[in-house]
A = this chain, B = another copy of it.
Amino acid sequence: MSTRRLVVIGGDAAGGSAASQARKRQPDLEVVMFERGRATSYSACGIPYWISGTVDSEARLVARTPEQHRAAGIDVRMRTEVVGIDTDKGVVHWRDLDAGTEGTEPYDDLVYATGSVPMRPPVEGIDAEGVYGVQVLDDGVALRAELDSGRVGKVVVVGGGYIGLEIAEACRMRGLEVTVVDKSATPVGTFDPDVGRFIADGIRSEGVELVLCDGVAGIDVDRGGRARAVVTESGRELPADLVVLGLGVRPNVRLAKEAGIPLGTSGGVAVDQRMRTQVPGVWAAGDCVESVHRLSKQRVVVALGTHANKQGRVAGINVGGGYATFPGVIGTAITKICTVEAARTGLSEREAEDAGYSFVTAAVDSTTTAGYMPNASPIRVKMIAERRSGRLLGAQVVGEEGAAKRVDALAICIWNEMTVDEVLSLDLSYAPPFAPVWDPVLIAARKAFEAVEADTRS
């Protein structure tokens, strides 16, 4: 039997995990991994913390260097972009970005892990100098070099999602004047507005200006071709030495599309539970694929390192002859903006409506420890429960230190399709330094249960 060969396109979380797992399971598998950037297996989510100086070196964001991958037997081709896939012949075409050389590489199995690309609004000036996305580590390097140059005093962040706010905070920590522009009435639109307001208050209290209910109409550019202001749809001109795009990302599917690898309804590469695409021998994982949302039953694209790692692992195990599945997502996310911690899981009110659920909501304000402890921090837990059945559909947690990670408990309740009545009986941990005797999660469940009962009676 001749040696089988796996080709992996993309050397970050999903690609790196797939390569490692496949090789681990099948030590005689030849694995070639193409990465067009300068780093492998790094934490893109960590970029804001490196920009702020919280993390002292770019290298610390790298979980596994090309050398470490090579030591594990993976043939890593850095700065080499795959420019085409021929699924009939089972080869990929590549180009070495530094040497300018090109070539082809045959595969028996292919893992497509190309990640995502930042959204760029189609407005004038968007490609000007001084406008940055923060998508790959190389973007972070470029952005930080700008900030380190000392030429930047004013930053405008376009988009108030997770990354937008995290970058805004990072720039603020460096002493810069920062404005965030967002179309919604509250930032981080994946939260319900009542929770989003806490996030808005938190970032404002650190001196970041929020321009809400307003979008970007264009970027004003100076004679040298460099951005000098963001012009909003309402006509405001926001001076900027630097513009950061934080509008989110979309799956990087260009190559897949060209190669005839089918996409799903959400625009990501369509995969089954084992991360197989609809083309034999071709697998996909990470930000470029779509996943099943376990509550809405819809296909969704969720670009998050934790999913990318899991999906890459699943693809790698399956390529390596094992059996593993990725059972879908429920929309869990968490962020820390200045002193505010916020997290969500399941469906937001709008998402629940869109999915056709009828529901009640309940929110409680409590503390992270017994109320009498000196370090008690505020925590608000909001629950969305299906009418009549009382099934927990979504939850949001916002507060200060020690608040948000508690969302995991709620994520697991949702994953197991628990009703709020069941949730309120859970045997959760209690001691004064960790919770009031009625844990905030349990109080919220009580209140949600009362709302379900009141709704059923009415």
Q: Give chain A's interface residues, CB within 8 Å of chain B.
A: 13, 43, 45-46, 49, 54-55, 60-61, 63, 162, 304-307, 309-310, 325-336, 341, 343, 345, 370, 372-374, 402, 404-409, 411-413, 415-416, 418, 422, 424-435, 437-439, 441
**In the bound complex, what is the Cα–Cα distance between A434 and B333 (angstroms)?**
11
A334 touches which of B330, B343, B430 (Cβ 8 Å):
B430
Contacts of A441 in B (CB 8 A): 408
A437-B309 CB under 8 A given contacts A46-B370, A336-B431, A416-B412: yes
Q: Can you pick out 26 interface pairs between chain A and chain B where the beta carbons lie within 8 Å of each other?
A: A13-B437, A49-B372, A54-B374, A55-B374, A162-B431, A305-B430, A306-B438, A306-B439, A327-B425, A328-B427, A332-B428, A332-B429, A332-B430, A334-B429, A335-B431, A336-B431, A341-B434, A402-B405, A405-B405, A405-B406, A405-B435, A408-B428, A408-B429, A411-B428, A411-B429, A416-B418
- A13 (CB) vs chain B CBs: closest residue: B437
**In the bound complex, what is the Cα–Cα distance between A183 and B49 (angstroms)?**
48
Q: Which 10 A-B pairs have the closest CB atoms?
A: A334-B429, A306-B430, A60-B372, A416-B416, A412-B412, A408-B409, A336-B433, A332-B427, A305-B437, A330-B427
Contacts of A418 in B (CB 8 A): 416
**In the bound complex, what is the Cα–Cα distance between A175 and B152 (angstroms)?**
52
Q: From residue A328, how far is it (CB to closest CB) to chain B in Å? A: 8
A426 touches which of B43, B415, B429 (Cβ 8 Å):
B415
Contacts of A407 in B (CB 8 A): 429
- A306 (CB) vs chain B CBs: closest residue: B430
User: Is A434 a contact of B334 with CB atoms below 8 Å?
Assistant: yes
Copies of this chain assembled into the complex = 2
Contacts of A43 in B (CB 8 A): 370, 372, 432, 437
Q: From residue A398, how far is it (CB to closest CB) to chain B in Å? A: 13
User: Is A432 a contact of B46 with CB atoms below 8 Å?
Assistant: yes
User: Is A425 a contact of B310 with CB atoms below 8 Å?
Assistant: yes
A404 touches which of B373, B411, B432, B434 (Cβ 8 Å):
B434
Apart from A405-B406, A408-B408, A411-B427, 9 more pairs, CB < 8 Å: A43-B437, A46-B372, A306-B438, A309-B438, A326-B425, A334-B430, A335-B431, A345-B429, A407-B429
A428 touches which of B306, B326, B335, B430 (Cβ 8 Å):
B306
User: Is B430 a contact of A345 with CB atoms below 8 Å?
Assistant: no
Q: From residue A160, how far is it (CB to closest CB) to chain B in Å? A: 16
- A437 (CB) vs chain B CBs: closest residue: B305
User: Is B373 a contact of A429 with CB atoms below 8 Å?
Assistant: no
Contacts of A372 in B (CB 8 A): 43, 46, 49, 55, 60-61
**In the bound complex, what is the Cα–Cα distance between A45 and B369 (angstroms)?**
12
Q: From residue A371, how far is it (CB to closest CB) to chain B in Å? A: 8
A45 touches which of B45, B60, B437 (Cβ 8 Å):
B437
Q: From residue A368, how far is it (CB to closest CB) to chain B in Å? A: 8
Contacts of A331 in B (CB 8 A): 427
Q: From residue A76, how far is it (CB to closest CB) to chain B in Å? A: 20
User: Is B374 a contact of A431 with CB atoms below 8 Å?
Assistant: no
**In the bound complex, what is the Cα–Cα distance between A336 and B429 (angstroms)?**
12
**In the bound complex, what is the Cα–Cα distance between A329 and B431 (angstroms)?**
16
**In the bound complex, what is the Cα–Cα distance between A130 and B162 (angstroms)?**
58
Q: From residue A61, how far is it (CB to closest CB) to chain B in Å? A: 6
- A310 (CB) vs chain B CBs: closest residue: B425
A429 touches which of B54, B343, B413 (Cβ 8 Å):
B343
- A428 (CB) vs chain B CBs: closest residue: B408
A429-B404 CB under 8 A given contacts A46-B370, A437-B45, A438-B306: yes
- A372 (CB) vs chain B CBs: closest residue: B60
Q: From residue A52, how far is it (CB to closest CB) to chain B in Å? A: 11
User: Is B415 a contact of A427 with CB atoms below 8 Å?
Assistant: yes
Contacts of A427 in B (CB 8 A): 306-307, 328-332, 345, 411, 415
- A410 (CB) vs chain B CBs: closest residue: B412
Contacts of A309 in B (CB 8 A): 437-438
Contacts of A333 in B (CB 8 A): 429, 431
**In the bound complex, what is the Cα–Cα distance between A428 and B409 (angstroms)?**
9
**In the bound complex, what is the Cα–Cα distance between A438 and B439 (angstroms)?**
26
User: Is A430 a contact of B45 with CB atoms below 8 Å?
Assistant: yes
Q: From residue A376, how far is it (CB to closest CB) to chain B in Å? A: 11
A402 touches which of B310, B402, B416 (Cβ 8 Å):
B402
